[in-house]
Amino acid sequence: MTDKHNPESIEATEKDEHGTPKDVAFAKRIKSFVVRAGRMTELQRETYARHMSEKGLTLDMGMLDYAAVFGNDNPVVLEIGFGMGKSLVEMCQANPELNYIGIEVHTPGVAKLLRDAEDFGVENLRVFEWDAIEVLEQCIPDASLQTMQLYFPDPWHKKRHNKRRIVQPKFAQDIRKKLKVGGTFHMATDWEPYAEHMLEVMEVAEGYENTAGKGNYHPRPDFRPLTKFENRGEKLGHGVWDLIYARTV
């Protein structure tokens, strides 16, 4: 068996198109997230174990067959970084005609999402507990998504950390490739400098059109539930900025 933590075993690992072992390429990539420790209650652990087998997705499944995963041909919405999952569960409830895939790296958030999905009888939801970049590359077919959602990602406030922001030119194109033509990439943030950064990146991104008009932010759409971040920000007098871009080609 190959040990990805043992340098002597690297030669046995799968390599990318440049000949670099994928384990090494992944390690070298600047990550936009930090895996933080979190506590899980006994109930959360039980729910996690019971429902990940039902609603959990894994990289070794390869490119997903949505009809097989969900048992229907409904359009698919993917959300990166759903946190504790409250708003994602609300969207699943409000839109039973859509299928949702959530990606999150924090186990307590995944456990909370699964518990809420159980409590509210949500069936149109599946979950990856993994890095979104790898999920996109290995499991999401090209031109298959109706919507990509990225709500309140880590803004990496300090200038020296700005390179860790997930919204970058390459990421915009990685997302576009996964959207259907006409599908949308919806971002939201409560940090104005990050909103400006998102707008700067997306306004020049090839193959996109700003649905609010060039250079404009989008009013919060009714289908995006208010989150705890937004409620907290409103109390502090902070704004929230939505950006929605449609794939044109």
Catalytic residue numbers read 154
- In this structure, how many other beta carbons lie within 10 angstroms of the beta carbon of residue 102? 28
Distance, in Å, from the CA atom of 128 to the CA atom of 126, rounded to the nearest integer, reads: 7
Tokens of 116: 């809420």
Estimate to the nearest angstrom the gap between the alpha carbon of 240 and the chain centroid: 19
The answer for residues whose C-beta is within 8 angstroms of residue 180's C-beta and 6 or more apart is 143, 144, 145, 146, 247
H or E stretch covering 235: helix 228-235
Q: Roughly what angle, to the nearest 10 degrees, separates helices 132-139 and 169-178? A: 40
Tokens of 110: 């995944």
Tokens of 174: 């990685």
Q: Roughly what angle, to the nearest 10 degrees, separates helices 169-178 and 192-203? A: 70
The answer for residues whose C-beta is within 8 angstroms of residue 33's C-beta and 6 or more apart is 81, 105, 131, 154, 166
The identity of residue 168, as a single letter, is Q
3-class DSSP assignment, residue 25: helix
